[in-house]
């Protein structure tokens, strides 16, 4: 991975970002945080609705139609700004334990969001009548909060990867 990161850091787009990094890296990181805000805001609304904590005057599907596209758009923004950050600083990002653990959480959470979205669309009645009240579903909703928290913490920890000790590949370099 280190070899790949070093190869990537010599590629054209990476060199371009590096040569403008004084403003581009802070700008991309800010854009990434804006994306996190949009994603967390819309995901929070949908999860709280699922838990029955707010917006109970609209159905799950109505709530999902209201926030789903914003979550999808935010995830695209995160993917683009995140990829550019990786291209701009490949070694800083890719040669860390935090980054890869974060990606694992992102993959899992995205899968869960898509599954939830498809399921509500197909079985709206069942969700409203039954599924929403199931303990396992409510627990899953709580788990997603924890996963969001982990993703945000791990994202910030990329800059502090040494705290993982021997788990961090950076300490072996």
Partner 1 sequence: MDITRWLKALEDTRLADGIRHSLYAFPLLESLHVMALSVVFGTIIIVDLRLLGLASTRRPVTRVTAELLRWTWSAFAAAAVTGALMFLTNARVYANNTSFRVKMLLLALAGLNMIIFHRTALRTIARWDRDSATPGASKSAAALSMVLWVGIIVAGRVIGFTTTGAEAKAAPPSIENFDDFLSGAADGAAPTQTGATARAAHDDAANLTIKVLMDTLVDPSGDFLFESVEDIADERGITHKAPQTAEDWAAVRHHLQVLMDAPALLDVPGRRAAEPTDRSRNPASESQPEEIQRLLDGQHADFVLRAERLRQAAAVGMDAANARDLKALFAAISLIDKACESCHLHYWYPNDERAHQAAKEEGGILE
Residue 33 sits in the site that holds partner 1 (CB under 8 A): yes
* Sole window of 40-48, 100-108, 122-130, 135-143 interacting with partner 1 (rule: CB under 8 A): 40-48
3 binding partner 1? (CB under 8 A):
no
If 0-12 CB within 10 Å is exposed, 13-18 middle and 19+ buried, where does residue 116 land?
Answer: buried
With contacts defined by CB under 8 A, name the span among 42-50, 110-118, 124-132, 136-144 that binds partner 1.
42-50
- Short-list 82, 64, 151, CA closest to 110: 151
Work out whether 159 is an interface residue with partner 1 (CB under 8 A): yes
Q: Which one among 57, 135, 139, 172 touches partner 1, defined by CB under 8 A?
A: 57
Rg of the chain over all Cα atoms, to the nearest angstrom: 19
Asked whether position 147 contacts partner 1 by CB under 8 A, the answer is no
CA distance readout (Å), 114 to 47, 118, 141: 13, 6, 14
Task: Say how many residues touch partner 1, by CB under 8 A.
Answer: 39
Q: Please, which residue, 143 or 153, has the CB nearer to partner 1?
A: 153
Choose, by CB under 8 A, the member of 5, 75, 89, 90 that binds partner 1: 89
HSE-CB at 47 with a 13 A cutoff on CA atoms is 21
- Token pair 């199931």 in the structure block, residue: 134
- Would you call 26 exposed, middle or buried from its count of C-beta atoms within 10 A (0-12, 13-18, 19+)? exposed
Rounded Cα–Cα distance for residues 108 and 141 (Å)? 13
Q: Counting contacts by CB under 8 A, is residue 160 touching partner 1? A: yes
Q: Which residues bind partner 1 (CB under 8 A)?
A: 21-22, 25-27, 29-30, 33-34, 36-42, 44-45, 48, 53-55, 57-58, 66, 70, 89, 92, 148-149, 152-153, 155-157, 159-160, 163, 170
């Amino acid at each position: 991975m280190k070899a790949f990161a070093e190869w990537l850091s010599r590629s054209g787009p990476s060199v371009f970002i590096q040569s403008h990094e004084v403003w581009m890296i802070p700008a991309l990181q800010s854009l990434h945080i804006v994306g996190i805000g949009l994603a967390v805001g819309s995901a929070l609304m949908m999860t709280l609705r699922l838990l029955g904590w707010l917006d109970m005057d609209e159905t799950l599907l109505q709530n999902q139609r209201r926030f789903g596209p914003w979550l999808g758009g935010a995830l695209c923004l995160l993917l683009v700004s995140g990829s550019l950050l990786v291209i701009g600083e490949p070694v800083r990002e890719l040669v860390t334990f935090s980054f890869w653990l974060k990606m694992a959480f992102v993959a899992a959470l995205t899968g869960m969001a898509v599954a939830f979205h498809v399921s509500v669309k197909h079985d709206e009645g069942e969700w409203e009548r039954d599924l929403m009240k199931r303990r396992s579903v409510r627990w899953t909703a709580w788990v997603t909060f924890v996963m969001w928290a982990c993703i945000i913490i791990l994202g910030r920890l990329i800059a502090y990867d040494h705290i993982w000790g021997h788990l961090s590949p950076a300490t072996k370099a």
